[in-house]
């Protein structure tokens, strides 16, 4: 039954989430066409032009403006899609659990835990997919941007490989000095876990807040929203406390040269632990409310 | 044990002060069509929601088919709420798929037959249908199940008189004789003909539970006339 619920939840949400994913694809395209190509054009032009010509050439001004607009579209889209997805998933959770559609959800032959698990798993899966798509899009844009610069370097006799080879010893020394190489495995592992655990913590904080709102007799939605805001504040405070604790403890135990790496890793670890604590707690709270305090108007 | 529904001192209070349902103790048998009747605010819908697990009682115990309310009882109860509970962007065909997947007792063939006889296009989206047609679709979904208990909350309130006749005919011709149908309504005269028993509720309390035949024989009145007498303002 859990599988069936997940299948329908997936199908019901796929249309809107696909639109959000299309926005990511669209923003990437805008970035490539509106940002990377103009930058390439500008760099190529600058290499062959005198400084006095800058600003007088209308095409360069247009290219610069295009690149700037494309940059803002990209940044706002990549940030906005996350808000759009979390907003959509929150509204859907509320509608299917606590409004008229809840009459169908809660009369299905499913256990409360199955309903909550099904909705959580699908919502987290979409958030992870979106995260990966945004990362991929960012990677494509950065890669294309790097290629634009490489083309220019190549035109003056430098290849990207020779540049990299030339810069590598210095880069390596920098990475080693900051402890990033020594803690690479921990860092990568923490980053990967963060991609899954952060949506889990965020979504269940929202679900939990909206569920706590159901305890109000008259202002369920208002209390739900206010509780969610309060929980995110708590989430943030807890995360900061844990970050300081992790970083301090790690720095006391290891070499001072690891400071930068331990700060990054401490932040990631604190984020993971906060998301797990808040997500787990809010799962429990939501489950208890659904099991013992469900009151559909 | 032949009783399908057992309520033992069931109380529901929303605010901790006033009881919407107040110490109701009742046993309902199988194989009956029972009218749940009472004026506005008498606790009918609250009682029905508790039977379906949408509200939890403040105190007391509810058992359906001998089990406390849970996923097992929900598999045996077909519930028609007093509102549209289906997502507007879904087609009727998608909803049929959904019901067929979740309810083992759902007969898709019966649902399609009823949709055909009411000339409702299965490809239509819910949000393109009129209020009355939506109610018909929901009733068709409910009555296409071979459930042990049908709970219908105001099934004929929003439809025209001709459709009411069809709905009553649908209820009578589709329910399993071993099942019980519990119908809550204000339109007593319209459904009186199909009822075996009636429950009267007032201020959350059980006023009367008897057979329609008893009312006619002992009071010399129709259920509608007797209801008006009992609940006269």
ipTM of the complex: 0.87
| Section B204-217 average pLDDT | 89
Closest residue on chain B to A16 (Cα): B89
| Section B188-197 average pLDDT | 86
Give dist(CA A209, CA A222) in Å, integer: 10
- Asked if A294's CB is within 8 angstroms of B55's CB, the reply is yes
- pLDDT of amino acid A107: 93
Give dist(CA B121, CA B203) in Å, integer: 42
Give A113's pLDDT tier (boundaries 50, 70, 90). very high
Q: Residues of A159-190 as b/e, b for ≥16 C-beta within 10 angstroms?
A: eeeeeeeeeeeeeeeeeeebbbebbeebbeeb
- pLDDT of amino acid B7: 93
Residues A98-107: tens digit of each pLDDT: 999 999 999 9
Query: Among partner residues A12, A111, A294, which is closest to B54 by beta-carbon distance?
Result: A294
Write down how long chain B is: 233
Distance from CA of A20 to the nearest CA of B (A): 18
Give A133's pLDDT tier (boundaries 50, 70, 90). very high
- pLDDT of amino acid A129: 95
- SS3 assignment, position A82: helix
The yes-or-no verdict on residue A259 having pLDDT over 70 is no
The yes-or-no verdict on residue A260 having pLDDT over 70 is no
Give dist(CA B233, CA B231) in Å, integer: 6
Q: Strands across the sheet with B67-68, in order? A: B19-29, B3-13, B59-64, B67-68
Q: Is A14 on the interface with B (CB under 8 A)?
A: no
| Section B68-82 average pLDDT | 92
Would you state the structure tokens that stand for residue B159, as one six-digit string? 């439809």
Give A13's pLDDT tier (boundaries 50, 70, 90). very high
Query: Among partner residues A12, A103, A111, which is closest to B81 by beta-carbon distance?
Result: A103
| Section B85-104 average pLDDT | 92
Q: Is B48 on the interface with A (CB under 8 A)?
A: no
In chain A, the N- to C-terminal Cα span, in Å, equals 26
- pLDDT of amino acid B14: 85
- pLDDT of amino acid A75: 87
| Section A167-183 average pLDDT | 69
Would you state the structure tokens that stand for residue A34, as one six-digit string? 């509106």
| Section B102-131 average pLDDT | 90
Q: Which residue has the higher pLDDT, A167 or A293?
A: A293
Give dist(CA B7, CA B25) in Å, integer: 5
- Asked if B71's CB is within 8 angstroms of A110's CB, the reply is yes
Closest residue on chain A to B94 (Cα): A8
CA distance to A123, A168, A173, per residue, from A162 (Å): 45, 10, 18
Dihedral of CA B8/B62/B142/A105: which sign? Answer: positive
Distance from CA of B52 to the nearest CA of A (A): 6
Q: What average pLDDT does the structure give for chain B? A: 88
Q: Which of A5-9, A167-171, A279-283, B177-181 has the lowest mean pLDDT?
A: A167-171
| Section B83-110 average pLDDT | 91
Give dist(CA A277, CA B19) in Å, integer: 38
Compute the C-alpha angle A64/A67/A69, nearest 5°. 110
- pLDDT of amino acid A9: 92
Give B25's pLDDT tier (boundaries 50, 70, 90). very high
Residues A227-236: tens digit of each pLDDT: 999 999 999 9
- pLDDT of amino acid A159: 57
| Section B193-201 average pLDDT | 90
| Choices 3.40.50.970, 3.30.1150.10, 3.40.50.300, 3.40.630.40: CATH for B3-230 | 3.40.50.300
Instruction: Show me where the domains of chain B are located.
Output: 3-230
Give A85's pLDDT tier (boundaries 50, 70, 90). very high
Q: What average pLDDT does the structure give for chain A? A: 83
Residues 3-22 of chain B with CB under 8 A from chain A are 14-15
Give dist(CA B78, CA B147) in Å, integer: 6
- Asked if A4's CB is within 8 angstroms of B71's CB, the reply is no
Q: Is A1 on the interface with B (CB under 8 A)?
A: yes
The yes-or-no verdict on residue A166 having pLDDT over 80 is no
Which residue, B156, B183, B168, is CA-closest to B44?
Answer: B183
Residues A186-208: tens digit of each pLDDT: 778 888 898 999 999 999 999 99
Is there a contact between B39 and B228 (Cβ–Cβ < 8 Å)?
no
- pLDDT of amino acid A161: 55
- pLDDT of amino acid B226: 86
Query: Among partner residues A4, A100, A296, which is closest to B101 by beta-carbon distance?
Result: A4
- pLDDT of amino acid B24: 92
| Section A159-168 average pLDDT | 63
Q: Which of A166-175, A183-192, A216-225, A276-285 has the lowest mean pLDDT?
A: A166-175
- Asked if B53's CB is within 8 angstroms of A106's CB, the reply is yes
Cα dihedral value A149, A151, A155, A159, nearest 10: 90
- Asked if B14's CB is within 8 angstroms of A8's CB, the reply is no
- pLDDT of amino acid A72: 86
Compute the C-alpha angle B63/B69/B70, nearest 5°. 145
Q: Which residue has the tokens 């009747």?
A: B37
């Amino acid at each position: 039954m859990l599988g069936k619920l997940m299948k329908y939840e997936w199908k019901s949400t796929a249309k809107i989430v696909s639109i959000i994913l299309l926005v990511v694809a669209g923003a990437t395209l805008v970035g490539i066409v509106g940002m990377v190509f103009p930058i390439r054009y500008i760099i190529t032009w600058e290499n062959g032009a005198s400084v006095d010509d800058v600003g007088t050439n209308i095409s360069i001004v247009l290219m610069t403006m295009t690149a700037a607009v494309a940059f803002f579209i990209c940044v706002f889209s990549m940030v906005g899609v996350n808000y759009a997805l979390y907003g959509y998933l929150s509204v859907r959770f509320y509608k299917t659990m606590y409004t008229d559609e809840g009459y169908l959800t809660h009369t299905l032959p499913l256990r409360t835990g199955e309903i909550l698990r099904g909705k959580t798993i699908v919502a987290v899966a979409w958030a992870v997919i979106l995260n990966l798509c945004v990362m991929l899009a960012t990677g494509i844009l950065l890669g294309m941007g790097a290629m634009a610069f490489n083309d220019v370097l190549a035109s003056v006799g430098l290849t990207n490989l020779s540049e990299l080879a030339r810069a590598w010893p210095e880069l390596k020394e920098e990475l080693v000095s900051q402890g990033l190489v020594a803690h690479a495995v921990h860092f990568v592992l923490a980053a990967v876990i963060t991609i899954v655990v952060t949506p889990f913590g965020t979504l269940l904080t929202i679900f939990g807040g909206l569920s706590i709102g159901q305890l109000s007799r008259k202002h369920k939605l208002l209390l739900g929203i206010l509780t969610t805001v309060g929980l995110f504040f708590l989430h943030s405070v807890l995360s900061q406390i844990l970050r300081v604790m992790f970083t301090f403890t790690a720095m006391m135990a290891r070499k001072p040269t690891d400071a930068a790496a331990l700060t990054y890793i401490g932040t990631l670890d604190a984020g993971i632990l906060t998301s797990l604590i808040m997500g787990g707690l809010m799962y429990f709270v939501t489950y208890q409310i659904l099991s013992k305090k469900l009151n559909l108007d | 044990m032949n009783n399908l529904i057992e309520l033992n001192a069931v109380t529901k209070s929303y605010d901790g002060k006033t009881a919407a349902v107040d110490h109701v103790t009742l046993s309902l048998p199988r194989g009956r069509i029972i009218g749940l009747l009472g004026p506005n605010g008498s606790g009918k819908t609250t009682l029905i929601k508790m039977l379906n697990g949408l509200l939890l009682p403040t105190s007391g115990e509810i058992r359906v088919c001998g089990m406390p309310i849970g996923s097992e009882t929900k598999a045996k109860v077909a519930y028609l709420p007093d509102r549209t509970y289906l997502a507007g962007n879904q087609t009727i065909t998608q909803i049929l798929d959904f019901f067929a997947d979740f309810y083992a007792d759902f007969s898709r063939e019966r649902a399609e037959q009823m949709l055909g006889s009411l000339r409702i296009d299965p490809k239509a989206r819910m949000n393109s249908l009129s209020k009355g047609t939506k109610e018909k679709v929901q009733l068709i979904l409910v009555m296409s199940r071979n459930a042990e208990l049908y709970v219908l909350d105001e099934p004929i309130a929003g439809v025209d008189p001709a459709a009411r006749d069809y709905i009553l005919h649908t209820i009578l011709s589709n329910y399993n004789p071993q099942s019980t149908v519990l119908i809550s309504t204000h339109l007593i005269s319209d459904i009186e003909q199909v009822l075996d028993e009636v429950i009267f509720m007032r201020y959350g309390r059980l006023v009367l539970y008897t057979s329609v035949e008893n009312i006619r024989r002992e009071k010399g009145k129709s259920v509608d006339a007797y209801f008006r007498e009992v609940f006269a303002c």
